[in-house]
Structure 1
């Protein structure tokens, strides 16, 4: 009976686990697609990439700082209450003791009326910090979009390489089979068979290397997208990939980039934030005027009248102005102002560095898109001629008009031309998308 009950318990537990796993897997499949195109990758990364999520939290923190700065111009209000007891023995011959108590309650408020403009300046600075955090998110999105596009195209290179390498393996298998037949009939030497075997092993090695490269590139893409580790996914291989781009002059692209790129706007905000911080530091030399007020009452144990009468008799109100004038602050204000000026100079240098980096980036993209287009055109012609020569060499080998050494020379040239063509095609596509991206165009293959 005990074993039967235990068996039923195990079956029930197993059923519950299977149901939970099934529900979990369905949740994963609903949340994460199995087939990804480039647009899906870009959109998914915007909400799931850890770097972007961290920057989003930074923006939320900056927004809280802004709310705090706005609230600083308002008066505060604090309540207080105190209660104490004391016990002592009376100095009489009769054992006796007394327990007394006393307490107080009250409200107090303070309001900064003037602080040299510090509070208003702080609000402006915190507002710019929120904008800066938003531009930081946009800049990170741009960088991640480029990373995703590069990795996505690397996977496409791997996939296309795998396709043609699989064809080469099939061809090598068929040629080896024919060579074995000729060897068995005595029309071919063993050396020829071994050469075909060696070529098949080389083709299989290259195919395996391409498949491994695809796996590694998928891991890189999964890491950028923050996909579950054991989730298997595939990317869409477009039928047509645009390798050309609208190439306006470099000056026009740089002008647009300087006016619209988030890194430039963020650098400009950095200068403004540093300047406001300098203004805040200068307010340390100015006086501060604040208004304070409070009301309260106190009570104690007294046999002559009750506590409620004490609340009324001991009730007090007070209000007053406080003026604080910095006379000697042990160089604190002077040092704070000097360091704020240094921070302004540093922010200006950072802005110049950002502009220089962007100018060089756009110029590099301009050169890359031109070179990549020319290389793709040359690679297309090279593949065209080597494909035809390889076709002729294959026919000659089949009819015995060419030896195997000449055939493999042409075959290797064809393989190199194919690899060059695939790489050049996707390099041209990537260069075109990056150059267009500087003009604010979304990335599309």
Structure 2
């Protein structure tokens, strides 16, 4: 195969692989699809999943430590005596099992179980974090889209006013400065629209980065998404209580205290004696006594069974140091739990305050937007009929733009904060 053909085949395979991967991705993403994809594909989450798998393997090894082992051995030796070389062979099986070691193995299994549960909770906590980040980024895209929709309508109105003013200027019914003011406003509206479209592109990029999608991946979000501002479902005390009972970071901190107590029990167990049972089967062959090989193996076959009691007397303060470190770990775990609870309740309270303020701002912004929309409609109609001057119309338009931006921002902010607040109480974010 020629080198050119090889490169062509490799390129075709790469294109096919990229196409197959692209076909696995949705063409249009809704919020649920974004969250589900991130939970499955996010690198940090998958790294934590691998950590949990490692913890699972540690647990398997810990449980297996209570089982007896079995070792086989084969030896072959040549010894030089004055009488000549002597060749010996040996074969054996040996096994031992720990009967008692101060509950070290039992506590080690418990510690590994707690470590696995903590690792799984770390995965859940990471999923919660990415859910909130993606929800915020997704709503920012919807906000920018809605803002663009209003700004396009505004630009269309400005364009129509400029065209009308140009006709009026030709016939001498308006002054040059009035036409220039409308043209300047039209240019400013185009600039505002371009800025809004750039903001949309930046918000889309932010969401793609959170999803860890390649830059070249085609990406669009659902146009059917609607944002409604629903009231928060629980009062502050109830929300904080639910968060403390259900959030994975609290459960993880509580398990860490249990883990540190188990580590203390493991450290103390090394002060106790260890009793183990061992046995072996052995046989061998010696060429110094030539004869039937099978007879020698049978005649040399012996069995051994015994108990071994190991009593710690002095271990250079290793156990004493480990016990002290374990007690320190318990206190650190308790402080960490207290800090986690404080942080969580403060976050819930902050979310509650944000919801209250955002809903109040939304109600006021919506009322202001309705009034300024109607006022601008009347002003535009009057300007078209020639019963209103351009300065008053531009003033009304500025009020409308301010009210528009406040309304759109307030709507999506209220929706975001409400979802975050309810999410703390265990209500999933799906749309």
TM over 0.5: yes
Deviations 1:31-63 (A, max 9, x none): 111111112222222211112211211111111
2:310 corresponds to: 324
1:59 corresponds to: 52
In 2, are the aligned partners of 1:369 and 1:435 still within 8 Å (CA)?
yes
Q: Distance in 1 between matches of 2:12 and 2:420?
A: 47
Q: Distance in 2 between matches of 1:25 and 1:66?
A: 39
In 2, are the aligned partners of 1:165 and 1:207 still within 8 Å (CA)?
yes
Q: Distance in 2 between matches of 1:376 and 1:254?
A: 25
Q: CA deviation at 1:19?
A: 6.1
* More divergent stretch after superposition (186-195 vs 310-319): 186-195
Q: Distance in 2 between matches of 1:216 and 1:302?
A: 88
Go from structure 1 to structure 2 and tell me whether the alpha carbon gap of 1:190 and 1:83 turns closer, same or farther (over 3 Å shift).
Answer: farther
In 1, are the aligned partners of 2:147 and 2:196 still within 8 Å (CA)?
yes
| Paired residues for 1:258-407 under 5 Å | 258-302=244-288, 304-305=290-291, 307-407=293-393
Q: Distance in 1 between matches of 2:282 and 2:191?
A: 88
Q: Distance in 1 between matches of 2:350 and 2:262?
A: 36
2:186 corresponds to: 200
2:73 corresponds to: 80
Tell me whether 1:249 sits opposite 2:225 in the alignment: no
Q: CA deviation at 1:11?
A: 9.0
Q: Distance in 1 between matches of 2:75 and 2:6?
A: 60
Q: Which runs of 5+ in 2 are unaligned?
A: none
Go from structure 1 to structure 2 and tell me whether the alpha carbon gap of 1:341 and 1:10 turns closer, same or farther (over 3 Å shift).
Answer: closer
Tell me whether 1:37 sits opposite 2:23 in the alignment: no
Query: Alignment partner for residue 64 of structure 2, among 71, 75, 88?
Result: 71
Deviations 1:63-109 (A, max 9, x none): 11111111111111111223345799x99xxxxxx876443222221
In 2, are the aligned partners of 1:301 and 1:307 still within 8 Å (CA)?
no
| Paired residues for 1:96-111 under 5 Å | 101-111=87-97
Q: CA deviation at 1:153?
A: 0.4
Q: CA deviation at 1:350?
A: 0.8
Go from structure 1 to structure 2 and tell me whether the alpha carbon gap of 1:206 and 1:86 turns closer, same or farther (over 3 Å shift).
Answer: farther
| Paired residues for 1:125-204 under 5 Å | 125-204=111-190
SS at match of 1:297: strand
Q: CA deviation at 1:208?
A: 2.1
Q: CA deviation at 1:189?
A: 4.4
* More divergent stretch after superposition (186-195 vs 323-332): 186-195
* More divergent stretch after superposition (226-235 vs 31-40): 226-235
Q: Distance in 2 between matches of 1:336 and 1:10?
A: 66
Query: Alignment partner for residue 214 of structure 1, among 190, 200, 225?
Result: 200
SS at match of 2:315: coil
Deviations 1:95-143 (A, max 9, x none): xxx8764432222212111110111111112112222222222222222
In 2, are the aligned partners of 1:433 and 1:444 still within 8 Å (CA)?
no
Q: Distance in 2 between matches of 1:316 and 1:408?
A: 108
SS at match of 1:254: helix
1:47 corresponds to: 40
Q: Distance in 1 between matches of 2:205 and 2:69?
A: 54
Q: CA deviation at 1:293?
A: 1.7
In 2, are the aligned partners of 1:150 and 1:430 still within 8 Å (CA)?
yes
SS at match of 2:270: helix
Go from structure 1 to structure 2 and tell me whether the alpha carbon gap of 1:359 and 1:304 turns closer, same or farther (over 3 Å shift).
Answer: same
1:233 corresponds to: 219
* More divergent stretch after superposition (239-248 vs 250-259): 239-248
Go from structure 1 to structure 2 and tell me whether the alpha carbon gap of 1:77 and 1:374 turns closer, same or farther (over 3 Å shift).
Answer: same
SS at match of 1:60: helix
2:101 corresponds to: 115
2:402 corresponds to: 416
Q: Distance in 2 between matches of 1:209 and 1:301?
A: 96
Note the aligned Cα RMSD (angstroms): 2.8
In 1, are the aligned partners of 2:87 and 2:288 still within 8 Å (CA)?
no
Q: Distance in 2 between matches of 1:291 and 1:248?
A: 61
In 2, are the aligned partners of 1:162 and 1:210 still within 8 Å (CA)?
yes
Q: CA deviation at 1:273?
A: 0.7
Task: Say how many residue pairs are matched.
Answer: 431
In 1, are the aligned partners of 2:232 and 2:355 still within 8 Å (CA)?
no
Q: Distance in 2 between matches of 1:184 and 1:306?
A: 129
Q: CA deviation at 1:377?
A: 0.5
